[in-house]
Structure 1
């Protein structure tokens, strides 16, 4: 099956719930999206909300961060775990990551054999007082840990979390509070064995899961494959061959791309629906830096003609754009880049900078879509006002934003 790049763009965006005007609704919409893509990536930086919130606000109508918090820490339908690095995924996926927990116990268990009293002290404290963070544990001493020495209490809690004895009960900002996992995951699910008996089966499951995380993916090294433990490129190739042989994934040829891209077999109906339709109504979206859509940036450059680098860890002098920049999507095209900053104390959304992509025609339809997108972004943040950093915004056409600012001034 052969398609054009435009058709590939439309399919990826439709799959990612980023193309059509209608958005997903509420917590059920979040669960629907998570069930399709497997996980969203978590990152502790909070410039305009955490990455996971930014991913969801672009897809969920009138999104509120409370939706995700409730699904994670009240209803327990989602959980914090390791998949594509730090991530959030369905609690139903708990058994599939048993290999990771066993690996963690083998890696960290020996570290604490000589400090069993530390583990027992922590167990007793949480059993007695309920969910605690590392600063609540009164255990002295430090240990070499990750990139630097850290308190034994923190290292022990993280280890017990990695091997599955503890779960993240809730967070206050980035501060984690831990509790016993078996209190919060149903007994049958908690003890359910790994469905993937062999390593080969595990690779096939995770490769298919990653294809589903984007909607369309090729067999090339990229960040999209990060976090699949033990898998080498040859293992990925073998898994793809086996999945294609069993018709669980389908190869798609795209014009001017010299290797196939793959979709999951269960998505073929949506695929045909999108590529055989005329796309008339579209919307604008602000896309998270670690959005599922951007996990393979070489693929995005190839299909969309858009090159994006997250410059947050670059020195300021080496940045082409800004510190925390969100790509701006309109229809099937990336039209601009936005650098926002939300000041929580004053509830002010600052537009630090805005860059139009080359050769973008700023039509009335585009302005209207951007205004609607910005207004929903303001609601998601709970911002009371929006300000434009005039010193750094050397851009010509932000009339759509000025309209929002004028409405704000009238309201004030």
Structure 2
């Protein structure tokens, strides 16, 4: 339903079920996968702006799990092709380290500028920067081991080799980009050699920080699907934005017709969606006719960027316990949210045993009130088999009862 406020602005109204359908549908989680192949992968990342990267690999890396949940035919090779051969995607900072369309490179100049002034071990890096860039130019691409600089330097997580610190600093500054990865080992090339013509030195499109923050706010709303004007983990990386700036940006976006407020039955705070998605929200008032299917979400999935919002809308409380001491964990180290139909069905702990080639399922915790039916179990088994096949594992083995 759409109404007009006294001031003339448009406000939508929705119930919780409608909002759930809208969010799951736009994320490609209702029914059969609607994103298909490389173009579908690109479509999904453009819809969200970026997907968050994380190197932890218990049953797949977070960005891989996010794409596997949505993209039919997704494989390691598909992502590698788009990142490091076609170069339609690029690894760089946004919310955190993310994967995004390469055309977004100019919009993130503020991050590169920050690292040019504030990076750790700057004196040591500046002393070798010219030498490093010359070596990369001569060799085409270089890893830290191949660079072979002597000494160590302070870095963000701990001390590291000067080679790694120098390469990563120049990467963060925009002089280098990742040429390819071999497992966790990155090889770098000059950004000017790999980025499409005219992109490496393209000017930043924003004339003021508020313009850049406005772009980021709209981008984050698109990443989750709906957000509220309040503190949120979804705003991580929107540098310089405090409550006054956020209020100003939301007001400007609403007045400009780029976002719409949604009053949701049962929520005290309005949510905001992109204005062009109003029709999709309205259509979600009707129950979905799609067949219920299980999807396993990544811990850092875009949909999960505001976990308080997910709890308010779906009644699903999720915490990534990877950094929680074992004795304080409610569930386990690396647990995936389980979607089924229009709700969260629970959470599951799959672990890839690479030595034996088996995907081991240690536990499934159903949500309170969820009916664990044979149809659900069949769909869950199908999705687990899909995850195993993605890794080339030969079998899925449940270990709950052992």
Structure 1-normalised TM-score? 0.91
Note closer, same or farther for the CA distance 1:371–1:143 as it changes in structure 2 (3 Å cut): closer
Shift of 1:283: 1.5
In structure 1, what is the equivalent of residue 183 of structure 2? 173
Shift of 1:115: 5.6
Q: How far off is 1:273 after superposition?
A: 2.5
Question: What secondary structure does 2:142 align onto?
Answer: coil
* Structure-1 residue corresponding to 2:364: 354
User: Greater CA deviation, 40-49 or 376-385?
Assistant: 376-385
Q: Distance in 1 between matches of 2:61 and 2:400?
A: 26
Secondary structure of the corresponding residue to residue 350 of structure 1: strand
Matched, 1:379 2:379: no
Structure 1 counterpart of 2:375, from 355, 358, 365 = 365
- Equivalent residues in 2 for 1:10-409, closer than 5 Å: 10-108=21-119, 111-112=122-123, 116-276=126-286, 278-391=288-401
Q: Deviations over 1:283-304 (max 9, x none)?
A: 1101111111111000000010
Question: Given the superposition, is the C-alpha separation of residues 22 and 43 from structure 1 closer, same or farther in structure 2, using an over 3 Å criterion?
Answer: closer
Deviation at 1:33, TM superposition (A): 0.2
For 1:396, the equivalent position in structure 2 comes to none
The separation in 2 between residues aligned to 1:70 and 1:265, in whole angstroms, is 33
3-state SS in 2 of match to 1:195: coil
Structure 1 residue ranges without an equivalent (≥5): 393-412
Structure 2: stretches of 5+ with no match in the other structure: 1-11
- The answer to whether structure 1 residue 9 and structure 2 residue 20 are counterparts is yes
Aligned-pair distance for 1:138?
Answer: 2.2
Whether the 8 Å CA contact 2:14–2:265 is kept in 1: the answer is: yes
TM-score with structure 2 length normalisation? 0.93
Mapped to 2, the partners of 1:239 and 1:212 lie a distance apart of: 15
- What's the C-alpha RMSD, in Å, of the aligned pairs? 1.7
Q: Within 1, Cα distance between the matches of 2:286 and 2:345?
A: 25
Q: Quick one: structure 1 residues 100 and 247, their matched pair in 2 at CA, closer, same or farther if it must change by over 3 Å?
A: same
SS at match of 2:18: helix
Residue 390 of structure 1: how far off its partner (Å)? 4.0
Q: Are the equivalent residues in 2 in contact too, given 1:118–1:156 (CA < 8 A)?
A: yes
Q: Distance in 2 between matches of 1:54 and 1:22?
A: 14
Task: Check the 8 A contact 2:62/2:299 in 1, yes or no.
Answer: yes
> What per-residue deviation string (whole Å, max 9, x for no partner) do you get for residues 51-101 of structure 1?
000000000113212111111111100000000111100001011001111
Comparing 349-358 with 80-89, greater Cα deviation is found at 349-358
Structure 1 pair 300–116 and aligned structure 2 pair: CA distance change class (3 A): closer
Q: 1:149/1:5 Cα in 2 relative to 1: closer, same or farther (>3 Å)? A: same
